[in-house]
Amino acid sequence: MRYVYTTLLLIFAAAIFICSCIIGRRDKRPLTKAIRYIMIAAPSTMAAYAGALLAPERLPAEFMYAVYYVVSDVLLICMLFYALKYTGIYEIRGAQKAVLYFVTGVDGVLMLLNVFTDRVFIFRCGLIEDAGTFFYGIAERGGLYNFHRLIIYGMVVLIVFPLVVKIGKSPQMYRKKFWLTLLSLLVIIAANIAYLVMGLEIDFSVLSYGIMAVAIYYFNVIYVPQGLVEGLLSSSIKNMDDSVICFDIEGNCVYANSVAYGFFKAESGEPFEDYYKEWMNGRTLSQAEDSEWKEIREINAVKRYYDVSFKRLCDRDENFVGCFFKMHDETVEVEKLAAERFRATHDRLTGIYNREHFYDVVTEAVRKAEPGTYCMVCSDIKNFKLVNDIFGINVGDELLLNIANTLKRLAGTGSIYGRLSGDRFAICMPRERFQPEVFAAEIRRIGEKSGTSTYRICLHIGVYDIVDRDIAVSVMCDRAYMAIKTIKSSLTDVIAHYDDGIRESSVSEQKVTGEFGTALEDGQFCFYIQPQVSVRGKILGGEALVRWIHPERGLVPPGEFIGILENTGLICRLDMYIWELACKKLREWKDRELTNYHISVNISPKDFYFADIYKVFTGLVEKYEISPRNLRLEITESAIMSDFDKQLVLIQRLQEYGFYVEMDDFGSGYSSLNMLKDMPVNTLKIDMGFLRQTDHEERSRTILKMMIALSRQLGMEVITEGVETKEQVDFLTEIGCDIFQGYYFARPMTVEDFEKKYFNR
Ligand code: C2E
Ligand code: CA
Ligand code: CA
């Protein structure tokens, strides 16, 4: 019996030990680690006990029993740590752990002392007969044995307690797992009690340590309680955000989750079969294949988007056993995506296409259509920046919205429209639908509605007939804008077509910019002077007006190149050249003691961007040692208006230095009488064009009268330019104009002619 039992113990212990080694390599989870300690401690206990039974003499036998008791303590510690980790009910840390180790340590020391001295008496071995052979078994236990017992029972309580608590706290599905673990523990306790109560010589309960180690491993790592998987799966489906409806082979609904019920507003038990029939569209379930589709349904008058999938369910032998539908409500995603797409393709303020998207859509439409089907209609607000500056951003935005809405309405179906940038809009529309009169009327209406009595908003439209489908949409728009640039009178003409003339001028534009550099170096530019005459007929000086003496084309007037050079920024180089020529001339006059004559030079608005005007002019005056009084500076209204505060400071500094500053072309732009009082210029150059243009001559004359009276009151000198007739001179003299410039007195002439005519008298 003894041999059979020890053999069994040793084989079983070895098997468990090997298993623990294999598991340790594969599974590194903390819980498995705790179980592995049990799987090492349990076979060690078994081996120690087998060793004691097999010991040939009393001393080794007692030693092995002592080892067995100590290892049992270790096994219980391992089980305690496992139970705590497994249940997570409480933890043993720091001092508690120290006490535990100390108490078991004392037990171990006492056990050894028991073996080697007679003073400590825990147990003694005696010879016991087993089927004719003898071995050493526990013959007697002393009072100190109770200390060992106390440790053992204490730890059993500590192990059982968390398991019991855990069972009470766990959901039904998990209880079984804890129950089975607890049960395997109880088996050992029961076996041990049985051994003690029955007073057996051999402790058969030692074998149960091994059984328990295996059971714990099995129940914790391998075993999944029946119903747990099903339970988890069904509650995952129940709590899913998607509708799930399952049908059996006959097409009966066997399950529908709560979302599905909510979705169909079906009361529990109402047939879902109707819905699937609608989905299946005449097919039978077993015929249907796995598929996915999108569906839009109106629920409570709200459009909702669904991603629906149908899946067949088959058993292991590929037999059809049922199917399910899953409906994912993707309304939020769809709407978010749509909003993002909208933001990426539409203008935020007006809600119409942005430039990139407009280009894309037009490219596509034009490519598909016959050449000449469409035209590109582009709009531009004249001086939009000023609208913002004068009326504020909100009014500017309102105006843009107004324009967007009007264009949208004018565009009608079959057209594509968008906002290209700030105040620029474009419509690509069928050519035959573009009616200039309708557009012009609408544009005027916008101007009247949005402007004020002092400032009239002016919208211009350029049209390009898309005959060449292969050019980029941006170029089509550029051509429409080129057409806009040809609009001269902003109030009467509002629409311009891109035509051959514009094409030619764009060619000549390229020519001008191409030739400019060498022309400047070759000295092809010079200036003419147009005299300025006082009311009493005295010559005061003149305005320097640039001329290009072209080797092939002859004398080219500035109208043909100034605008182009301004657009390209080259104007600055030309102006500096002319300013230098004018200063040189003034120096020459100074040397001839002709210091009573001035020269006025033109400063383009662009010059303020590219040059430090103050530095340039003071530098020139110092270089040629001339008086700043003799060099007058003509600044246009638009240059001042582009950055009023900055220009104000600049003008004041120039005046402090001694320059005369004249405001050129007053009345041709957006001048307001109100602005005059803030403008620190010395001279006002009134543009006669302003008088000529208007239909209400009488009113214009009144305004002119007021203007001159006001500027005189403010201490400004008034020059009227473009004076052509005696009547004009008489009228202007009458209302107080100081100086005249115009064909009536003289046309612009070469400097030599000027000198001959006025200095040699
Ligand atoms: P602006 O500064 O207003 O110059 C006056 C223009 O009116 C000159 O044209 C002149 O010839 C013209 N004019 C003078 N009296 C009469 C008249 O009685 N009747 C009419 N119908 N016209 C008259 P021009 O020389 O062709 O210059 C045109 C424009 O070119 C100038 O207008 C000015 O804006 C620009 N410009 C001329 N020279 C320069 C320059 O050196 N630099 C810059 N940046 N611009 C210049
Ligand atoms: Ca001028
Ligand atoms: Ca002028």
DSSP labels for 486-513?
T--STTT--EEE--HHHHHHHHHHHHHH
| Average pLDDT value over all residues in the chain | 88
CA angle 349, 353, 358 (to 5 degrees): 145
Measured distance between the N- and C-terminal CA atoms of the chain, rounded to whole angstroms: 155
**Looking at 35-39, 161-165, 682-686, 699-703, which range is the least confident one?**
699-703
Distance 711 CA to ligand 3 centre (A): 17
Q: Is the CB of 602 under 6 A from ligand 1?
A: yes
Q: What is the CA radius of gyration of the chain?
A: 52
Helix spans in 218-326 (H): 228-238, 258-264, 273-280
Distance 602 CA to ligand 2 centre (A): 5
Token pair of 52, please?
């004691």
To test the pocket of ligand 1, the residue of 533, 545, 580 to mutate (highest count of ligand atoms within 8 Å of its CB) is 545
DSSP 3-state of 27 = coil
Which of 101, 93, 83 lies closest to 161 in space, CA to CA? 83
Distance 3 CA to ligand 3 centre (A): 129
Distance 720 CA to ligand 2 centre (A): 11
Q: Is the CB of 542 under 6 A from ligand 1?
A: no
% of the chain at pLDDT higher than 70: 94
Which of 409, 229, 249 lies closest to 322 in space, CA to CA? 249
Q: Is the CB of 545 under 6 A from ligand 1?
A: yes
Query: Which residue in the block uniquely carries the two structure tokens 């200390």?
Result: 147
DSSP 3-state of 170 = coil
495-497 and 459-465 beta bridge pairing: parallel
Around ion ligand 2, which residues have CB less than 5 A away? 602, 634, 664
pLDDT at 78: 92
Indicate yes or no: pTM above 0.85. Answer: no
| Burial class of residue 91 (count of CB atoms within 10 Å of its CB; 0-12, 13-18, 19+) | exposed
pLDDT at 611 > cutoff 70? yes
Distance 704 CA to ligand 1 centre (A): 21
- Round to whole Å and give the CA distance between 627 and 427: 56
For ligand 1, what atom is nearest to the CA of residue 743? Answer: 18
DSSP 3-state of 601 = strand
For ligand 1, what atom is nearest to the CA of residue 604? Answer: 44
Q: Is the CB of 742 under 6 A from ligand 1?
A: yes
Token pair of 40, please?
């090492």
Beta bridge partners of 302: 299
123-130 and 525-534 beta bridge pairing: unpaired
Which of 605, 526, 599 lies closest to 558 in space, CA to CA? 526
Nearest CA to ligand 1 atom 35: 558
- Round to whole Å and give the CA distance between 618 and 748: 27
Q: Is the CB of 530 under 6 A from ligand 1?
A: yes
Given a contact cutoff of 8 angstroms between Cβ atoms, the answer to whether 40 and 17 are in contact is: yes
Give the type of residue at 48.
Answer: A
Confidence class for position 268, pLDDT limits 50, 70, 90: very low
Q: Is the CB of 575 under 6 A from ligand 1?
A: yes
Nearest CA to ligand 1 atom 20: 722
133-141 and 660-666 beta bridge pairing: unpaired
CA 221 and chain centroid, separation: 48
Distance 690 CA to ligand 1 centre (A): 15
Given a contact cutoff of 8 angstroms between Cβ atoms, the answer to whether 403 and 377 are in contact is: no
- Round to whole Å and give the CA distance between 738 and 733: 7
Around ion ligand 3, which residues have CB less than 5 A away? 664-665
Which of 585, 581, 497 lies closest to 547 in space, CA to CA? 581
Distance 664 CA to ligand 2 centre (A): 6
Q: How many CB atoms lie within 10 A of CB 170?
A: 15
To test the pocket of ligand 1, the residue of 602, 747, 749 to mutate (highest count of ligand atoms within 8 Å of its CB) is 602
Confidence class for position 185, pLDDT limits 50, 70, 90: confident
How are strands ordered across the β-sheet holding 302-314? 253-256, 243-248, 320-329, 302-314, 291-299
For ligand 1, what atom is nearest to the CA of residue 685? Answer: 3
Describe the crossing of helices 473-485 and 355-368 by its angle, rounded to 10 degrees.
100
pLDDT at 33: 87
Distance 753 CA to ligand 2 centre (A): 20
Starting from the CA of residue 578, give the closest ligand.
1
- Calculate mean pLDDT across residues 526-536: 96
For ligand 1, what atom is nearest to the CA of residue 687? Answer: 3
374-381 and 424-430 beta bridge pairing: antiparallel
The string of DSSP codes covering 634-650 is EEEHHHHHHTHHHHHHH
- Round to whole Å and give the CA distance between 736 and 363: 60
For ligand 1, what atom is nearest to the CA of residue 748? Answer: 11
Q: Is the CB of 546 under 6 A from ligand 1?
A: yes
**pLDDT tens digit sequence for 138-167:** 888 888 899 998 999 999 999 999 989 988
pLDDT at 26 > cutoff 90? no
Nearest CA to ligand 1 atom 4: 545
Distance 685 CA to ligand 3 centre (A): 7
pLDDT at 212 > cutoff 70? yes
To test the pocket of ligand 1, the residue of 516, 543, 562, 688 to mutate (highest count of ligand atoms within 8 Å of its CB) is 562
pLDDT at 492: 67
Question: Which range among 231-245, 500-514, 668-682, 712-726 has the greatest average pLDDT?
Answer: 712-726
pLDDT at 546: 97
CA angle 45, 50, 52 (to 5 degrees): 95
Query: Which residue in the block uniquely carries the two structure tokens 């005369």?
Result: 660
Query: Which residue in the block uniquely carries the two structure tokens 């500027």?
Result: 711
Query: Which residue in the block uniquely carries the two structure tokens 């955000």?
Result: 241
Confidence class for position 455, pLDDT limits 50, 70, 90: low
Nearest CA to ligand 1 atom 21: 722
**Looking at 54-63, 101-110, 222-231, which range is the least confident one?**
222-231
**Looking at 145-149, 198-202, 530-534, 645-649, which range is the least confident one?**
198-202
Q: Is the CB of 722 under 6 A from ligand 1?
A: yes
